[in-house]
């Protein structure tokens, strides 16, 4: 290399000046570019605070205002807390640092700082729509995912139930199948018959109505003292059911899980609302369904109701139950011992993964 070139390539000293970014908390999460180098830092480290000897108090994140600012319930007080600088510097596997439902340890002071996020027992996730599909934790530490469909207007959608049920099970959240608007059917026999598949597989199925209140007591018992999220397409009656469960809430129709269009990120944040009868509603606007991530396509056969049990008799150990010969699931469908409607639904879920190789 010529001397002149060497000079050109000589590393310059870089002055890192203290650039102040005011109101970073007001930035939309989307506008904060992920720090790729930070990805390499171990996420586990952030869980252990070097301030563990300090006087930290435990609380639960009940609402997010930004990636760094949240409302935390500590005993019966609701206080605004900030993510500590130490937690901020770790870019976890997920795009957001905090999630509604997180149990955190806070150092109380002029500015209350969240120093620790306790390990989550489960998470409800969505993924960015770009090709990176980066995970966003919508809520954490949930007990129930109430999968809501309606008997009519819109027509019952068990395919949607299957998708969400698998997603909930894969996230370690208990699914509850809830079929609303029973008042619109003169005869519920057909729906009950189709839904009995889930009962036989050990899941709770509740037929209810926000109009004549049929099944509401049963639903309330499932929700009592538990943390539950409602998922289901718009119009099935989520807001109506929630208003009936707790009349004082006055959620406007469409308030719950209002999704403004495909590809749009919601700007409304999730929040936790306490039920008067004990337990919490995890309200997640923008979430109508639980996402089945591409990575878990091969796990679905293990959680799809009734399938794993049958698969022991499949000829191939890793049988996908789709194109293989001597498949116990397909044989059961043919023999009428496994509901063909659910098998169809399974095939549709598998087909829906782009580029799936079976
Ligand atoms: P969301 O979009 O899931 O929150 O649904 P809404 O609660 O806004 O309800 C959608 C529509 O269905 C409204 O016109 C409600 O009045 C109606 N609706 C909700 N629950 C029931 C029900 O149990 N029976 C009948 N007949 N209509 C209902
Ligand atoms: Zn098989």
Which H or E element spans position 315? none
Distance of alpha carbon 289 from alpha carbon 354, whole angstroms: 18
Pocket test of ligand 1: the residue of 149, 237, 242, 249 to mutate, having most ligand atoms within 8 Å of its CB, is: 237
pLDDT at 207: 98
Q: Whose CA is nearest to atom 25 of ligand 1?
A: 181
Q: Vertex 164, ends 227 and 348: CA angle to 5°?
A: 175
What is the model's pTM? 0.79
Binned at pLDDT 50, 70 and 90, residue 238 comes out as very high
Domains of the chain: 46-119 (2.40.50.140), 126-283 (3.40.50.300), 297-351 (1.10.40.50)
Q: How far is the CA of 321 from the centre of ligand 2 (A)?
A: 4
Binned at pLDDT 50, 70 and 90, residue 358 comes out as very low
Q: What is the DSSP string of 58-71?
A: EEEEEEESSSSEEE
pLDDT in tens, 214-226: 999 999 999 999 9
Q: Vertex 302, ends 298 and 306: CA angle to 5°?
A: 140
Q: Whose CA is nearest to atom 5 of ligand 1?
A: 237
Sign of CA dihedral 246, 248, 250, 256: negative
Q: How far is the CA of 327 from the centre of ligand 2 (A)?
A: 4
Extract the runs of DSSP E, i.e. beta strands, from the chain: 56-64, 69-74, 77-83, 103-107, 113-117, 123-127, 135-140, 144-150, 174-180, 204-207, 227-231, 271-274, 280-283
Contacts of 309 (CB under 8 A, 6+ apart): none
pLDDT in tens, 272-285: 999 999 999 998 77
Mean pLDDT of the chain: 81
Q: Whose CA is nearest to atom 27 of ligand 1?
A: 181
3-state SS string for 230-283:
EECCCCCCHHHHHHHHCHHHCCCCCCCCCCCCCCCCCCCCCEEEECCCCCEEEE
User: Facing residues of 83 across strands?
Assistant: 114
Q: Which atom of ligand 1 is nearest to the CA of 253?
A: 8
State if residue 180 touches ligand 1 by the CB under 6 angstroms criterion: yes
């Amino acid at each position: 290399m010529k001397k002149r070139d060497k000079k050109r390539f000589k590393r310059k000293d870089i002055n890192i000046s203290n650039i102040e970014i005011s109101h970073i908390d007001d930035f939309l999460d989307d506008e904060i570019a992920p720090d790729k180098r930070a990805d390499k830092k171990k996420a586990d480290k952030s869980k252990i605070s070097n301030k563990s000897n300090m006087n930290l108090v435990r609380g639960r994140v009940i609402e997010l205002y930004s990636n760094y600012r949240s409302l935390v319930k500590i005993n019966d007080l609701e206080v605004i807390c900030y993510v500590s600088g130490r937690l901020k510097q770790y870019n976890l596997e997920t795009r957001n640092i905090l999630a509604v439902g997180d149990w955190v340890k806070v150092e109380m002071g002029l500015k209350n700082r969240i120093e620790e996020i306790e390990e989550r027992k489960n998470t409800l996730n969505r993924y960015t729509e770009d090709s990176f599909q980066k995970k966003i934790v919508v809520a954490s530490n949930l007990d129930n995912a109430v999968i809501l469909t309606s008997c009519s207007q819109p027509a019952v959608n068990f395919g949607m139930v299957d998708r969400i049920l698998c997603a909930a099970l894969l996230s370690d959240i208990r699914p509850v199948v809830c079929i609303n608007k029973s008042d619109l059917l003169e005869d519920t026999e057909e729906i009950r018959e189709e839904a009995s598949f889930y009962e036989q597989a050990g899941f709770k199925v509740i037929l209810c109505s926000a109009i004549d209140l049929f099944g509401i007591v049963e639903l309330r018992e499932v929700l009592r003292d538990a943390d539950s999220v409602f998922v289901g397409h718009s119009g099935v009656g989520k807001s109506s059911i929630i208003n009936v469960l707790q009349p004082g809430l006055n959620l406007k129709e469409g308030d719950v899980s209002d999704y403004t269009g495909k590809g749009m990120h919601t700007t409304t944040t999730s929040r936790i609302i306490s039920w008067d009868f004990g337990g919490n509603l995890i309200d997640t606007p923008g979430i109508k369904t639980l996402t089945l991530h591409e990575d878990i396509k091969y796990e679905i056969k293990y959680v799809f109701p009734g399938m794993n049990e049958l698969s022991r008799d499949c000829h191939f150990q890793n049988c996908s139950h789709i194109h293989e010969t001597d498949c116990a699931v397909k044989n059961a469908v043919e023999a009428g011992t496994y509901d063909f409607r659910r098998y169809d639904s399974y095939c549709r879920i598998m087909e829906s993964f782009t580029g799936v190789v079976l």
